Amino acid sequence: MDKNLQVLIKSLPKDKLSSDNYELVESNLPNIDENEVLVKTISFAITAGTRAGLQGSASYAGAPKTGIVMNSTGIGEIVESKNENFPVGKKVLTMTGWQSYSAQKPESLTLLRDNVDPSLYLGPLGINGLTAYFGLLEIGKPKEGETVMISAAAGSVGHLVGQIAKIKGCKVIGVCGSDEKCNTLVEELGFDSAVNYKDANYRQNLKEATPNGVDIYFDNTGGMILGSALFRLNPGGRIACCGVVSQYDTSSPEPGPKGIPGLLVNKSIRMEGFLVFDFAAKYEDATSKIIEWIESGKLKVLTDEVHGLGSAPEAFVDLLSGGNIGTRIVLLEN
Amino acid sequence: MDKNLQVLIKSLPKDKLSSDNYELVESNLPNIDENEVLVKTISFAITAGTRAGLQGSASYAGAPKTGIVMNSTGIGEIVESKNENFPVGKKVLTMTGWQSYSAQKPESLTLLRDNVDPSLYLGPLGINGLTAYFGLLEIGKPKEGETVMISAAAGSVGHLVGQIAKIKGCKVIGVCGSDEKCNTLVEELGFDSAVNYKDANYRQNLKEATPNGVDIYFDNTGGMILGSALFRLNPGGRIACCGVVSQYDTSSPEPGPKGIPGLLVNKSIRMEGFLVFDFAAKYEDATSKIIEWIESGKLKVLTDEVHGLGSAPEAFVDLLSGGNIGTRIVLLEN
């Protein structure tokens, strides 16, 4: 009989996360109760937001705990079933966590559509894509011709936000942490320009890249980049607050930028946080739209693959320092 | 012939404002051009927001200058006219500034309605009242039964916000800087409770006053009180960013509170700045509504009167340290 390989949270990070905060263990396969299924993980996504769950109580992910499996969304195949709506052999999107098998209740399962590459469910058709879609369209409310600025623009959410903004007729400026990423955004994904925030002339470069100011800032980072965006925003501007990756990997988050709330008042700026779950009722329509854009070639998907469950901790640490381009996916070996 | 008494900005404050930053001068009456009128000031309002205009360039009031008349809204009587729509003897609301006479163009004049106490135009029917009305109703969007928290709650805007929220069926908690003010809010204006932010147990008292959390925070202060509100806000909460009085009277504004943008994301909070001018198209309707509330006794007006142009600088310095209850008005001697 197969064993379940799991990556557990061994200790909570005191300051920066390290792979030593995790341990790989082997356990028996979980039993499934009535109506449940056993899912064998095919792959899972590593996303910066899960770092917030290790960081104190003020997170939608709840209070941090040790001794539990690290959480993540993943895709897998049903290998045992006590639910006729979810038969053996079907592929599903679910909260697999960092482990090879998991018992799942039916309400946590999304059946993958046929004729669609399953890995897309960890990127544009999963949490990342829906976050990009609703954050830009429902919170940012872009109008044709407006300027959209995006932080962590080469990340799993950011690289999709920029392309959706282009589809909506906006001018798009990406902010990211390397010249290689800047190049990818402009050359491969069609961003109008990209600015490296690690460059000593970042603020001047941002100013030159946004001669008409910024109408929508899609914020994945908070911190200094949020501060720079506040000064470029036009009256009536919007900030879609999606994530705070600049403040996750630390024990002492910085205060908010100067100019909050002063600049919000002076420029009538709307700054709005959201969680993708706020829009659950509209997931189906959004997914259909995103599939249409991918099939027509309007939306390109960047994926960054890592192999083997044991490589997940290092891959996460590296992602938090900006090592990924696009969605980082861990593929399990069979 | 009468002379024009004026209070000029003599120097910009280096840190805290002092009455030495102003000087009282006497000059000739201004000439009026075609279509203009000469207005003799009856009274003007002193409001914290004008402090921002002395503080650097990042203000809707424009870059600060010396040698000019201190600005303010006021009411006055037309004493000379080259415009038949604005005849001599009519009373108007306009930007009188701190002076006894001013030349005004027609587009800057609002004729006062008949049968309405002119002084109401410096409070509930002027900028203060319209700011309270649109900030609460259009930005906060209160629903019956929700909890509304207000900072600078005994101020010219705050004391009206709380009463409008009560009219809309909300539970109302005011934050202010003295026990006397707390008492006035609850006993005279019908707030459900009031909390003194200078009290050592402020955060605990706020928590006890908001057992169901806060749905709308109307922010006149920024700073520490904004920080405390962020922790009390419920998921889906709104912050109407109206002013930043805690950061006006200083040369070194603090950074924004911790938790921005993190708490906005975790709790799907909308934080939105506004200027009353954003709603200019709706002033007439709002004014009629506010008159109706005053006449029916639902909206009480707190006014704090000071006499003589020369007392304006001290009255402003005192207001910035919280000396006023309600709208502070300077009445000119005739």
**How far away is chain B from the Cα of A170, in angstroms, using its nearest Cα?**
23
Beta carbons of B262 and A222 less than 8 Å apart: yes
The ipTM, to two decimals, is 0.87
Q: What string of DSSP letters covers A200-240? A: TTHHHHHHHH-TT-EEEEEESS-HHHHHHHHHHEEEEEEEE
Count of CB atoms situated within 10 Å of the CB of B112: 17
Distance set, CA B108 to CA A182, A214, B7, B94 (Å): 49, 31, 21, 6
According to DSSP, residue B129 is labeled H
pLDDT tens-digit profile of B299-316?
A: 999 999 999 999 999 999
Which tokens hold the place of A75? Answer: 């895709």
Beta carbons of B226 and A261 less than 8 Å apart: yes
**Domains of chain B, first to last:** 4-123+301-331 (3.90.180.10), 127-277 (3.40.50.720)
Q: Does A223 touch chain B (CB under 8 A)?
A: no
Q: Does B269 touch chain A (CB under 8 A)?
A: yes
Nearest CB neighbour to A256, from listed B256, B268, B272: B256
Which tokens hold the place of A177? Answer: 């942490």
Give the pairing of strands B233-241 and B214-219. parallel
Mutate to test the interface with B, among A151, A231, A271, A277 (most CBs of B within 10 A): A271
* Helix and strand counts by DSSP (H, E) for chain A: 8, 15
pLDDT of residue B250: 79
The alpha helices in chain B, defined as continuous H runs, are 127-134, 158-167, 179-187, 202-209, 223-232, 262-266, 283-295, 312-320
Which tokens hold the place of B296? Answer: 């029916």
Q: What is the pTM of this model?
A: 0.90
pLDDT of residue B50: 87
Closest by CA to A44, choosing from A332, A321, A290, is A332
Picking from A63-77, A90-104, B178-192, which range would have the lowest pLDDT averaged per residue? Answer: A63-77
Closest by CA to B82, choosing from B46, B126, B37, B119, is B37
Question: Are B102 and B309 contacting, i.e. CB atoms less than 8 angstroms apart?
Answer: no
Which residues in chain B show pLDDT less than 70?
A: 1, 56-63, 334
pLDDT tens-digit profile of B281-305?
A: 999 999 999 999 999 999 999 999 9
CA distance A283 to A257: 33
Is a pLDDT exceeding 60 seen at residue A263? yes
**How far away is chain B from the Cα of A301, in angstroms, using its nearest Cα?**
25
Q: Does B257 touch chain A (CB under 8 A)?
A: yes
pLDDT of residue B169: 98
CB-based burial label for B264 (10 Å; 0-12, 13-18, 19+): buried
Q: Does B52 touch chain A (CB under 8 A)?
A: yes
Angle value at C-alpha B74, between B63 and B61, nearest 5 degrees: 15
Q: Which residue of chain A comes nearest to B245, CA vs CA?
A: A262
CA distance A217 to B274: 18
The rounded mean pLDDT for chain B is 93
pLDDT of residue B334: 64
* Average pLDDT over every residue of A135-151: 98
According to DSSP, residue A326 is labeled B
Question: Are B302 and B327 contacting, i.e. CB atoms less than 8 angstroms apart?
Answer: yes
CA distance A332 to A103: 17
Give Cβ neighbours of residue B148 (< 8 Å, ≥ 6 apart): B136, B140, B142, B161, B162, B165, B170, B171, B172, B173, B214, B215, B216, B217, B218
CA distance B16 to B123: 26
Is a pLDDT exceeding 90 seen at residue A258? no
Residue B217, helix vs strand vs coil: strand
* Average pLDDT over every residue of A27-46: 96
CA distance B186 to A14: 46
CA distance A182 to A176: 7
Which tokens hold the place of A48? Answer: 């910066």
Question: Are B238 and B140 contacting, i.e. CB atoms less than 8 angstroms apart?
Answer: yes
pLDDT of residue B15: 86
pLDDT of residue B236: 97
Is the preceding peptide bond at A261 cis, omega within 30 degrees of 0?
yes
Q: Does B190 touch chain A (CB under 8 A)?
A: no
Nearest CB neighbour to A256, from listed B58, B239, B258: B258
Cα B24 versus chain centre, distance: 24
Q: Which residue of chain A comes nearest to B252, CA vs CA?
A: A258
Q: Does B265 touch chain A (CB under 8 A)?
A: yes
Beta carbons of A226 and B261 less than 8 Å apart: yes
CB pairs under 8 A between A and B: 126
Q: Does A64 touch chain B (CB under 8 A)?
A: no
N-terminal to C-terminal alpha carbon distance within chain B = 14
Which tokens hold the place of B65? Answer: 């200058």
Is a pLDDT exceeding 80 seen at residue A63? no
Provide, as residue numbers in chain B, all residues whose Cβ is less than 8 Å from the Cβ of A251.
Answer: none
pLDDT of residue B56: 63
pLDDT of residue B138: 98
Residue matched to tokens 């095919």: A42
Q: Which residue of chain B comes nearest to A62, CA vs CA?
A: B266
